[in-house]
Structure 1
Amino acid sequence: MSGPQVEAPRSHLPTHGRQVIGQAAPRGDIAAVLPVSEEPRLCTVRGVFCATARWSQPIQTYAAVRQAVAWCNRGGSISAEPRINDRIRVPEVRLVGPSGEQVGIVPLAKALELAQEYDLDLVEVAANARPPVCKLMDYGKFKYESAMKAREARKNQAHTVIKEMKLRPKIDPHDYDTKKGHVVRFLKQGDKVKITIMFRGREQSRPELGYRLLQRLAEDVQELGFVESNPKQDGRNMIMVLGPHKKKTEAMAEAREAQAARKAERQQGGSPAEEPAEA
């Protein structure tokens, strides 16, 4: 069964090429055939679908319909990249020069002419402004610098990793010290540590052994970490999670500083000592 038909006030539509609003969409939803200069775009009122622009927000009011009309008439691009040069479809823009100076509101044709004179691109940097803000720049260079900044940001982004350390309830003292050393190293790196006590056979009837071992380990590393998740039984295992006091970014910064200091010491130790000059 098709949805209800709604006739939107035609005064809200642009004066050129007015089309019918209220035609039923293939799914039976309310639809609007939007007027554009090149080709029509079909937008449904519920779960909006644009054949070319792919408008993705629901339209429930006449105001939203008007917004959809304006959006589609501006081009309705789904690309994350800004519009540049002849892809900009507005009569006038607020122009910013190559050095950031304010040129003012100029016709689009004038802005494109200035872009050709400077051998630069006209890039729309604020599409939602009225009129849109455009800047003269080398778009290829801008994209490259933006990609490098994003790559550097991803490189420096800290990802907290959960390490795991498995122990037995009746662990040997030497093995315990070795395992504790690994836990200390993980916490210094800013990572969380999941401690798993594995019970076998009759050990399952004595869970207090696991509690005491986990409590002992938490006390031994309390200067570096804290108990984020208290000990709990998980089948044949008992689990506790330790969290670091230091953030991952701080741990990474300290590690880089320590590495630079060690490198400087090696360079100083490897350089030949200067002999004192004879009097």
Structure 2
Amino acid sequence: MDELGSMLGVMSVREAVNIAAGRGLNLIEISPNASPPVCKIMDLGKYRYEKKKRIQENKKKQKVIEIKEIKLSPNIEDGDFSIKLKKAREFIEEGNKIKVSLQFKGREIMHKDVGFAVIKRFKEEVIDLVRVDSDHKLEGRQIIMILSPKQ
């Protein structure tokens, strides 16, 4: 192809380079794996600029899913719990995954049932908006659960 977009047909590399040099442009290989390889006669700086713009447009269109963390404790008060719940709903509506973790400190680990009750209560409050990726499980001194938005 030439700079105007018209097809020049199949030719040798030497002929194509001579045509490009005669017009003061470059011969750029567009798809080297094709048979025969596809080349274009155009300005190299303009080609790089257009390629960079295409990459930027593609980056704008894709949505990156982040994992947001909500930290709870076994003896959390109702007010604090509702604030964490509200924040979790915001994260879900934005399309992010949520990692809910409940950390046991000191001797709180003796009352695991209290921690599991808090996690289950949290899950019941947001179950209408989420899908459970990883159900609650005890890992060391914390309970972890991963939730993602429903499609």
Question: Which interval holds the TM-score relative to the shorter structure?
Answer: 0.7 to 0.9
Cα deviation, residue 219, structure 1 = 1.6
Mapped pair 1:154 → 2:59: yes
In structure 2, list runs of 5 or more residues that go unmatched. none
Cross-structure match for 1:177: 82
Mapped pair 1:119 → 2:19: no
Cα deviation, residue 241, structure 1 = 1.2
8 A Cα contact 1:218 1:226, kept in partner: no
Cross-structure match for 1:144: 49
Cross-structure match for 1:196: 101
Larger radius of gyration: 1
The amino acid of 2:16's aligned partner reads A
In structure 1, list runs of 5 or more residues that go unmatched. 1-95, 247-279
8 A Cα contact 1:167 1:197, kept in partner: yes
Q: Describe how 1:263-278 pairs up with structure 2 within 5 A.
A: none
Cα deviation, residue 130, structure 1 = 4.3
Of the three residues 117, 131, 137, the one matched with 1:226 is 131
Q: Describe how 1:71-150 pairs up with structure 2 within 5 A.
A: 96-150=1-55
Q: Give the secondary-structure state (helix, strand or coil) at the position aligned to 1:124.
A: strand
Cα deviation, residue 147, structure 1 = 0.8
Cα distance in 1 between the residues matched to 2:88 and 2:36: 59
The structure richer in strand per residue is: 2
Count residues in correspondence: 151
Cα deviation, residue 161, structure 1 = 1.4
The amino acid of 2:42's aligned partner reads M
Cα distance in 1 between the residues matched to 2:27 and 2:98: 52
The amino acid of 2:136's aligned partner reads P
Cα distance in 1 between the residues matched to 2:128 and 2:35: 57
Mapped pair 1:239 → 2:131: no
Q: 1:108 to 1:228 in 2, by over 3 A?
A: closer
Cα deviation, residue 146, structure 1 = 0.6
Compute the RMSD of aligned alpha carbons: 2.0
Cα distance in 1 between the residues matched to 2:35 and 2:148: 50
Identity %: 36
Cα deviation, residue 157, structure 1 = 3.0
Cα deviation, residue 230, structure 1 = 0.8
Q: Give the secondary-structure state (helix, strand or coil) at the position aligned to 1:101.
A: coil
The amino acid of 1:148's aligned partner reads K
User: Please, what TM-score do these two structures have when normalized by structure 2?
Assistant: 0.86
The structure richer in helix per residue is: 2
Mapped pair 1:165 → 2:70: yes
Q: 1:140 to 1:162 in 2, by over 3 A?
A: same
Cα distance in 1 between the residues matched to 2:127 and 2:71: 19
8 A Cα contact 1:192 1:244, kept in partner: yes
User: Please, what TM-score do these two structures have when normalized by structure 1?
Assistant: 0.49
Range that drifts further, 157-166 or 229-238: 157-166
